[in-house]
Structure formats: C-alpha cells, structure tokens
Chains A and B, each alone.
Chain A
Amino acid sequence: MKSTAPLFFAFIVGVIVLLSEFIPHSPFNQIVSTLEGWFMIISGFAILLGQISLIRMNTHKIVHKLDNWQYHLAGLISFGLMLTLGLLWGMQETPGILGDAPGIQAWLGQKPFDYLFDNAYLPLSATLFSLLAFFIASAAYRAFIIRGLESNLLMITAIIVIIGRTSIGTMLTGWLPENLQFWHFPNLADFIMEFPNTAAQRAILISAGLGIVGSSLRIILGIERSYLGGDK
C-alpha cells in the first residue's frame, strides 16, 4: 500500500496532464493549471526540505566537532544571518515581516539582505566561477593533448571560436580579400556555430527528447519507480 498508492497518484496526474493536451476544454485545462500551481507550492516545500537537511548536516558536524567544524559553523551563521535579514526586512521591492526598514536603508544605502547579497554573495559567486579560468587551462591541456582526430577537432574548433569571438580574430585575418572572407576568423566561427554546432546540438536535443519521452512514459505507467526510494 505504501508503494502502490503513490504509483496510482503518479499515474492519475500524469494521464490528466497528457489528456489535457488532447482535450483543451474544461475541466482538463483547469485541472492542469491547478496541478501546475500545486507543483510550485510543493517544490517550495521541497527546497525548504533541502535547507533543513543542510542545517542538520552542519549542526551534526558542529555538535560532534568533526573535521573542519569551525568552517561549518561559519556557514551556518552566514545562512542564519542572510535568512533573518531577508525575512525581517525583505528583498528589493518586497517588504519583510518588519516592513521596508527605511532607517536601515538610509544607513546602508539599500536593504540589509541586498547589501549582503551585493557585497558578499555576488563577489563570492563571481570569484568562485572565475577561479575555473585557471583550472580550465590545465584541463584544456589534458583534453587537447593530441591523441586522435576527435581531440584535434575539439581543439581546433575551440581555438577558432575563441579567436573568432575576440578582437584578435578580426586583426589576424582582417586583411583577407573579399573572395576569401569565408576564412576570416569571425566568419569561420559564425559558420561553425550556425551549422556543425547546431547539427550536433540538434542531435543531442532529439536524442535526449526521445529519452525523456520514454522515461516519462515509464514513470506514468509505474514501470520506473526508483523515485519512491526503498521499502521502508
């Protein structure tokens, strides 16, 4: 019962959504929009569940003084601080429990949540991702080391796209005559992006789409049930 009833529910809602596509009239269209609204609310709770899990994991490490517990404490404090500021005084145009805090805004120049977002979250996020610029160089060496035709293709395309999308590309082949303009780096990069790249992306989309349709059908029919977890 604990496993069968959820499968039944998945089947019912899946079939209703499918039917609504072929019967776009009341009550099916209303049922689908209602289900989509419910989906958003439940996914909000699912995110809350993820945050609770994060707090539990960090608390466990801090209480048991596991390795690097001090850093997890810092993480928990920053989580609590950002959450409290957001709930109390809101974010951007949205007021919080205590309103818009005009006094604090006059002091900080913006809401406390937005201040923390602009001066801590945003720099951390941008720097973490920019760090990849360094590691991508070593990754590129390993990936591009000439092993065969495939790795050569990857390397040559990447170089053409990088050069073609920067000013150096225009500078290097800008002198080419009109009848050889196809080999001008920016034009070559455009050609690669427009044709071979689109072909491969299209192949990926079609193949992945077929896979998604198959998986969805398996879920609706109850063949795929791994999302329910174990038999506890």
Chain B
Amino acid sequence: MISIMNTFGIWLAAFFTLCIFSFLYKDNPFYKFAEQVFVGLSAAYWLVYIIYSIMVPNLFAKLADDFSGNIILLIPAALGLMMLMRIHPKTQWVSRYPIAIMVGTTAGISMLRYMKSDILQQLTATMINPFAAATTAEVIGNLLMIIGTICGVYFFYFSKKQEGVSKAVSKVGIWFLMVSFGATFGYTVMARISLLIGRLDFLLGDWLHLIK
C-alpha cells in the first residue's frame, strides 16, 4: 500500500510541478490553481508549525502542567487575544497594547543587538593594518576593504548634498556596492538554476524514469 501511495505522491508532485511550469507559456487556470493551493498549504504549514513549536511548548503545555505556577503566562495569552481584536474595526484600538509591547521589546533588543553586531563588530573588523598580510593580493584586498567600507558608508549619508570631493567618495562607494550586487546576483542565478535542475531531475528521474 505504501508503494501505491508513494507513486500517487510522485504523480501529485509532478502534476503541481507541471502546473507551475505551465506559466512559462502564459498565465493559465492550471497555474492559478497551483498558485492558490501553494498559498493555502503554505499558510497552514506555518500555522501548524507555530502551534507546535511556539504556542504548545511555551503556553498551553506549561499552563496544562502547572497552572498556578505559570499563571503569569495568562498575561501574554490575554495580550495575544487582544491582538486578535484587530479583526473587528470597533475593537481595533485594543490591539495597540500588544503591538506596543512587541514593538517596544523589539526596539530595545534590536538597538543593542545591531549596535554590537552590525556597527561595533564591523567597525572593529575594518580597523586592520592593511600591510600586515602575507601576499600582495591580500594587501590590495585589505586596502580595497577599508576604502570600500568607508566610501560605502559615506554613500548612505543623506543628510548633506553630495558634491565635489564628497560626490567622488560617494561614487567609489557605488562602485563597491555594484560589485557586491553583481556577486549577489551571480549567487542568486546559480541558486535558481540548481533548483531548476532539481525539478527537472525529479520529472525525468523520479517521475518518468528517463534518467538514473
């Protein structure tokens, strides 16, 4: 029986794969169907995942095991229910309280976390002696790293109109950013192509058995 259901699963996967690929010809009912099924499955998957990985272990299981010991958890539960009041226009204002607590907590955590990891640590990593490297290529690389970081940060300085020397510095920053975007683009292309190869491998191998 497992074998039959396994075969059915492969055919189901092949059907959905072809439905999505049919968009390459033009928008059509098969694609629209598969797209909406994906939205539905995706939403349900994340809901089930959140229930089992967050809500049950952090709230429901703790309250069920020791209600009086974890009574404080009724506060986030109440705040969560207040969040759901956003559905109705008349009670929408109630959801501001849980949102404010979430936003306040996030702001506090983000401020410290980004100050450490994205500002101080990155600045520290840039403050190096560029000439203390083993090869000429590394020395050039270190110099490029320092110049690129300074010019790149300067490009994002929008408080003053950039003209003259500052415009030149900003321009160098753009060049470095373009190199980085090019590298990112290259990686994205390769990732998408490998996904495409994976799907073609599935269709020609697992489904049609044309390749081993």
Which residues of A line the B interface, CB within 8 A? 2-3, 5-7, 9-18, 21, 34-54, 56, 68, 71-72, 74-83, 86-87, 90-91, 94, 106-109, 113, 115-134, 136, 140, 143, 149-151, 153-162, 165-166, 182, 191-210, 212-213, 215-217, 219-220, 227-229, 232
Least Cβ–Cβ distance between A190 and chain B, in angstroms: 10
| A79 in contact with B40 given A130-B196, A134-B24, A196-B144 (CB within 8 Å) | yes
Hey, which chain B residues are within 8 Å of A207, CB to CB? 152-153, 156
- Cα(A151)–Cα(B142), bound, Å: 24
Would you call B179 an interface residue if the criterion is a C-beta within 8 Å of the partner chain's C-beta atoms?
Answer: yes
Of the residues A7, A9, A53, A131, contact of B87 by C-beta under 8 Å: A53
B52/A109 in contact, CB under 8 A: no
Q: How far is the CA of A197 from the CA of B148 in the complex (A)?
A: 9
A-B contact pairs, 15 of them (CB 8 A): A6-B96, A10-B107, A17-B112, A41-B77, A44-B51, A47-B47, A52-B87, A74-B37, A74-B40, A86-B51, A91-B52, A119-B13, A127-B199, A199-B144, A203-B149
Given contacts A107-B1, A153-B179, A232-B89, contact A51 B152 (CB under 8 A): no
Docked-complex contact A12 and B119, CB < 8 angstroms: no
Known: A91-B48, A213-B114, A228-B100. A35 touches B105 (CB 8 A): yes
Interface residue? B182 (CB, 8 A): yes
> Which listed residue, B12, B32, B54, touches A40 by the CB 8 Å rule?
B54
CB <8 Å contact, B186 and A162: yes
Establish whether residues B99 and A6, one from each chain, have CB atoms under 8 Å apart when the complex forms.
yes
Residues on B with C-beta less than 8 A from A202 are: 122, 125-126, 145, 148-149, 152
Residue pair B45, A38 in contact (C-beta under 8 Å): no
A49 touches B99 (CB 8 A): no
- In Å, the complex CA distance between A10 and B104 comes to 4
Residue of A with least CB distance to B83: A45
B97-A6 in contact (CB<8A): yes
**Most chain A C-beta atoms within 10 Å of own C-beta, residue among B36, B51, B145, B183:** B183
Tell me which of B44, B102, B148, B181 contacts A43 (CB under 8 A).
B102
**Residues of B contacting A34 in the complex (Cβ-Cβ under 8 angstroms):** 72
Q: A201 near B123 (CB under 8 angstroms)?
A: no
Residue in A39, A50, A108, A160 whose CB lies within 8 Å of B106 = A39
On chain B, the residues within 8 Å of A196 by CB distance are 144-145, 148, 176, 179-180
A119 and B9 in contact, given A199-B152, A205-B118, A213-B111 (Cβ under 8 angstroms): yes
Give the residues in chain A near B21, CB-CB below 8 Å. Answer: 127, 131
User: What residues on A are CB-neighbors of B29 within 8 Å?
Assistant: 71
CA distance A150 to B52 in the complex (A): 48
- Which range contains the number of B residues in contact with the other chain? 35 or more
Question: Which listed residue, B37, B112, B183, touches A192 by the CB 8 Å rule?
Answer: B183
**CB of B175 within 8 Å of the partner chain:** yes
A213 to B38, CA, bound (A): 37
Contact indicator B76/A120 (Cβ below 8 Å) = no
User: Is the Cβ of A212 less than 8 Å from the Cβ of B186?
Assistant: no
Q: Is the CB of A232 within 8 A of B92?
A: yes
Leading 4 A-B pairs by shortest Cβ distance: A203-B152, A199-B148, A17-B108, A157-B182
Which residue of B is nearest A11, CB measured?
Answer: B104
The answer, among B41, B75, B108, B115, for a CB contact under 8 Å with A78, is B41
Q: Which residue of B lies closest to A122 (CB)?
A: B13
Tell me whether A49 and B23 are in contact (CB under 8 A): no
Inter-chain contact B192/A129, CB cutoff 8 Å: yes
How far, in angstroms, from A227 to B175 measured CA to CA in the complex?
36
Most buried by B among A17, A124, A200, A208: A200
B37 close to A120 (CB less than 8 A): yes
